[in-house]
Structures are given as structure tokens and as C-alpha cells.
Structure 1
Amino acid sequence: MSAVVTTQDSDALAAEHHDGRPFDRGAHDRLLRMPPLRGSRIAHSAVSVALEASSLESQLAEARATIAEQRDRIAYLESLSMTDELTGLLNRRGFFSHFRREIAAARRQGAKGSGKGGGVLVIIDLDGFKRINDTHGHMAGDAYLRQVARLLVGSVREEDVVARLGGDEFALLLTKTDAACGDLRARQIAVAAGRRSVRWNNADLPIRFSFGVQSYGADDREEEVMRLADSRMYSNKAGRRPRSAGRKVGNPPGHCAANRRTIA
């Protein structure tokens, strides 16, 4: 006995699709294999259209999932391209990307009349790092760099930026900080670092570095700020010791208190 597909049956199937409930593909396949009876061609076409729409929706969902995965992959690769593999800090590329955004933010603040904005750039260059590599090996040098990175991260606020520019050179962006507070903060970090050492194969490797400080604001370009900070760092290094080494650093002025973080 032949099965009959009525218009009411096809309408029910279409309604099922529009209600958002999944199709029983096996049942639909059996319906499609049945020879259409007279007067049922429209019903047969409705079922075909509904099935095709369901298939397209499934393909669209898969495409969206693939696009989302690709976006996540791109974001991951971009983060890798801006991260120093050894220390986990920003690398030079990531640092300059962030620095440009900081200066742009200072310009927006200035345009809105909400203050000049800006902050302080500190360039840090380790003293005697080549000797550590030559004497104790590159594994010791890597351990030394990681310890310096941890020291710097623990010495600034969460909103500040720490980066390894390459080799034994690091950078700090002390945001929303003026030149006086930034210079004082750099000297505090240098003094604290001078009390630290890295233990390697029964040897204590002292942490020493030279630094240069330069403020930045809405009217500055990152390349020029970097050049000035570099110049001051090399002048500091010419003294062969951090300029604050062996000296006590006094308490900061009241307006610097908000920028201060205790260094153990």
C-alpha cells in the first residue's frame, strides 16, 4: 500500500523547522524518496526547501565557528610577536606599540582639557651582564635576566609597563607620573636592586644597572623620548655604577605617594 504525503503533513514539517526543533533526517529522506502524488508537488517542494535551509544553517554555523577559531589563532600569534619568550615581558615591538598608545591617550586628554597626561620612560641597561655570560654561561645569564624581570615587575604599579627591549636592556613606562616622581622611583628601584643577587652554582651574582629617565606628554614623539632616555642612561653608565648606588633615597614628596609601591 502506498504512503500518501498530504499538504497538512508538509505544513507540519515546515512548522517544525520554524519552531527551531531539529529535523528527523531519516524520516525526511524517506519522504523525499516517495513518488509525489498529484496535487502534492507543492508539499514536496516545501519539504525540500526546508531541508535545504536546515543544511545551509548548519554550514553557516560551522563557518562562524571556523572564523572564531581563526580570530583566536591570529590574536594568539599577535601576542607571541609582542612578547619576550625568555621573560614573558613585552618585547621591543610590543613596548613601542604600547608607548604609541600612551602618547595618543595623553593627546586625547590634552584635547579634552582634562590635563596634560603622559608619564615617564625609564631605560635600564644591566651592568656587567656580558661578564656573567662569559664567566658562568648563558644559562646563568638567562636566569639572571628572568630575576631582573621579576624584580622590575614587582617594583611598579599594575598600570605601569615593563618590557625587555633586547639583550640586557629593559624599559619602564611609569604612567601618569611626573619627571620628579619618575626619577625618584627609578633611583629607588636601583637601590633595591643593588641589595639583590642571583644565586647560581654557589655564586651570588649581584644585580646592577644604569638607567636614564625622560618624561613624555601630549607633544612628544616616542622616538625622541627614547633617544633622550637612552642618552641619559649612557651618561649614567659612564660613571660605571647606578648614580644612586651606596646612597639612601629619601621619602618621596607627598604628590608622589600615589605612585609609590613598596620594594622588599
Structure 2
Amino acid sequence: MSDELAQVPDPAKLAREVDRLRAMITTLEERVRLLDHLAHHDSMIDLPNRRGFMRQLGMLIGRVSRYGDSAAMLFVDIDGLKLINDSLGHKAGDQALIQVADLLSQGVRTSDCVARLGGDEFGILLDHSDEQAALETAARLADQIAAATFTCDGVSMPLSVAIGVAVIGSDDTPAAVIARADEAMYREKAAA
């Protein structure tokens, strides 16, 4: 019996070690959350990036497939951002991106997902939205951006966007939805 008692660790020491390990786990969990945020969000604009958008799009396709919900994607391309960058500098181009991101975010429901796909392109996921509602949202957003004034260092420049719409089907893939929305955006640009 005395040999067994000698092998039992000090309860106070054991409790301290458990507390230390719990604190380490909490720190590691916070780091994982931070890394996940960094991996899925744009570094300049507080919106999901392409990777985060793809995750949201995959989940939305799953809901459409499982529950028969209606949904759509808007592919947004800023017109003339290169002109802003070339004439006013990249700081102005960044400010234009931020302004467009804010206008897009304010122009949709909080349940919708607005993301920066890269460069001057944004994606918007509209949950519970059929084609007609998505087209109306796209037109309203384009009008809001065109009506907004963009000013940098006292110089005003017009902003405009081309927006393509793709309805999300139950058998879709994220790549197919983005390709259709991108094609629709290019048709919209060509028609303008």
C-alpha cells in the first residue's frame, strides 16, 4: 500500500498543471480563430475574401439543394478603378474600393454575404432571392453606386459598376455559379 501512495502525484501540483494546460488550450483556440479569420477575410476591407466567399457559397448551394430555397449570386466589377489608380494613386483606388464595399454592404440585407473576390471584383450571395429579385437588387446597387460621390484629396470622380446575376441551382458547384455570374457581368458591361 505504501508503494501505491508514493506513486500518487501531489494533488496541488496536478491541479496547477491542469490549469496551465487549460490556459494553453484557450490560447491555441484563440489563435486558430484568428488564423481562420485572416484566411477567410480581406486584409484591407472588412469583408470575406474569395476563400471565405467560396465557403459561404458552398453552404448556400447546400441549403438550396436540401431545402429547395431560392438564391442568387451577384458578380460586381468596378468600372474605371485603373483610371482612379493611375490618375490619383493607389491610396485613392483603395478608398474607392472601401466606398464601394460599404455601399454594397449597406444595400443588401444583413443575412446576405458581400465579399471581395479580388482586385476590383466583389461577389454577393442573396439568400431567399429569385432571379427577378436578384436583378432588382443588382439594378438598385448599380444606381446607388453611380449616384454616390467619390472624392479623394478634393478631386471627385464618378464610380460605376457592372453586375452580373446567376441563379443558384440545387445541382450547382461554386465554380459553375461564379462562371455564370461572371459571364453575365461581362454581358452587362458589353451592353453599357
TM-score bracket, normalised by the shorter chain, equals: over 0.9
Count of paired positions: 192
Q: What is the deviation of 1:118?
A: 3.6
RMSD (Å) for aligned C-alpha atoms: 1.8
Q: Which has the higher helix share?
A: 2
Is 1:92 aligned to 2:44, yes or no?
Answer: no
User: Given that residues 106 and 117 in structure 1 are in contact (C-alpha distance below 8 angstroms), is that contact kept between their aligned partners in structure 2?
Assistant: yes
Say which of 20, 28, 46 aligns to 1:70.
28
Is 1:81 aligned to 2:39, yes or no?
Answer: yes
Say which of 63, 72, 79 aligns to 1:127.
79
* Structure 2 residue matching 1:143: 3-state secondary structure: helix
User: Given that residues 123 and 170 in structure 1 are in contact (C-alpha distance below 8 angstroms), is that contact kept between their aligned partners in structure 2?
Assistant: yes
The equivalences for 1:82-161 within 5 A come to 82-109=40-67, 116-161=68-113
* Structure 1 residue matching 2:24: 3-state secondary structure: helix
Cα deviation, 1:132-189, whole Å, max 9, x if unaligned, reads: 1000100000011000010001000010000010100011101111011111111011
Inter-partner Cα distance in structure 2 for 1:230 and 1:201: 33
Cα deviation, 1:68-116, whole Å, max 9, x if unaligned, reads: 210110111110111111111111011001111111122222xxxxxx1
Return the TM-score normalized by structure 2.
Answer: 0.93
Q: Which has the higher strand share?
A: 2
Is 1:215 aligned to 2:167, yes or no?
Answer: yes
Aligned equivalent of 2:180: 228
User: Given that residues 118 and 218 in structure 1 are in contact (C-alpha distance below 8 angstroms), is that contact kept between their aligned partners in structure 2?
Assistant: no
Inter-partner Cα distance in structure 2 for 1:58 and 1:50: 15
Aligned equivalent of 1:248: none
Aligned equivalent of 2:146: 194
Aligned equivalent of 1:53: 11
Q: Which residue identity lines up with residue 99 of structure 1 in the other structure?
A: L
* Structure 2 residue matching 1:126: 3-state secondary structure: strand
Q: Which residue identity lines up with residue 184 of structure 1 in the other structure?
A: E
